[in-house]
A = this chain, B = another copy of it.
Amino acid sequence: MSLTIKDVAEKAGVSVTTVSRVLNDRGYISAKTRKKVMTTMEELNYTPNEMARSFLSNKTRFIALIVPTTENPFFGELTFHIEKELAQKGYNLFICNSLNDVDNEKKYLRLLQEKRVDGVIVGSHNININEYEYFENKIVSIERELTAHIPIIQSDNYLGGKLAAQELVDKGCKRILCIRGDQHIKTPANDRATAYKDVMEENGLNYSFKEVPFQLQDQEKEALIDQIFAGEVVYDGIFAGDDIIAKMCINSAIVHGKSVPEELKVIGFDGTKIVRQLNPELSTIIQPIEKLAQKSVKILLAVLNEEKVNQVTKLSVKLLASNSTKR
């Protein structure tokens, strides 16, 4: 027979309501009574049924994180740091891979609707999901504009775009291409393209964009990138949307007989740990992934606690310029 809250109440000589209040940290309880209840629970080796507790308190201490896929190193690393941060604060994390599918994303939002999670962190990239409006006080977003009121935590994408473009210009590139994502998605990442355009104009250079949406399959991305080298314009610099696309550009350039970095300089974006381990020779813009995670958790918990928070939190990025010509 497992123990119940009633056993604890009888042994401690208090009411069931009092034990419930102690468990759920609600209502007035004197320090003395609280201590007595806690000691009794310890003596009886009583483990509260957490599901019952959640049901009573209407709080689960569960948070969901919606990302396109943890296969991608940026999101794998982000997930790790968010979970670590939440665990320290006594929360558990659901991982939800939306695969950039609107229906998937809506399905995961049902966890909120059904009160199975207290809050959601959204790092996914779908458009026009009206459901977000109903849960504005339970959501924060990373690098994505969901509604006018949902707090957003982001890297300084304009700075990142500026650093990347300027680095290519400084290295002597004249015909620089910018590979961007789907323009219809409202994400601060669009600021990178704006910064690139500004730098080109300041330096009297032509700008040129190529769209390679994040949600495409790898083969589709590679086909779009191959077009760059099959085309008439011969580029000597590429500012890629992320490090994987940067690597695809380098591979494609080599297949097309170009020497890298002599004839073509490429700069990526993200600077995840794994990419820096595996491709230390790749120049990139390093996003502060651990800080993005910490801030997201901090702001979400403040939101759930009905505290006032900033609508936009912007974190700085830095350039990792590789001087290696070896590999």
Contacts and interface: CB of A to CB of B under 8 A. Distances in A.
A95 B83 contact: yes
B50 A115 contact: yes
Contacts of A111: 92
A173 to B, nearest CB: 22
B96 A83 contact: yes
A273 interface: yes
B115 A51 contact: yes
A306 interface: no
The contact size tier of chain A is: 35 or more
A261 interface: no
Chief secondary structure at chain A's binding surface: helix
Interface in A73-96: 73, 75-77, 79-80, 83-84, 87, 92-96
Contacts of A275: 278
Interface string A241-254: 00110011001000
Contact of A80 (B55, B70, B113): B70
Given A247-B277, A275-B278, A279-B279, 14 more contacts: A47-B114, A50-B116, A51-B51, A62-B94, A70-B83, A79-B95, A83-B97, A84-B99, A87-B107, A92-B96, A92-B116, A93-B94, A93-B95, A327-B327
19 contacts: A47-B113, A48-B114, A50-B114, A51-B115, A70-B70, A70-B77, A70-B79, A72-B274, A73-B274, A76-B79, A79-B79, A87-B107, A92-B116, A93-B94, A95-B95, A218-B277, A247-B278, A274-B278, A275-B278
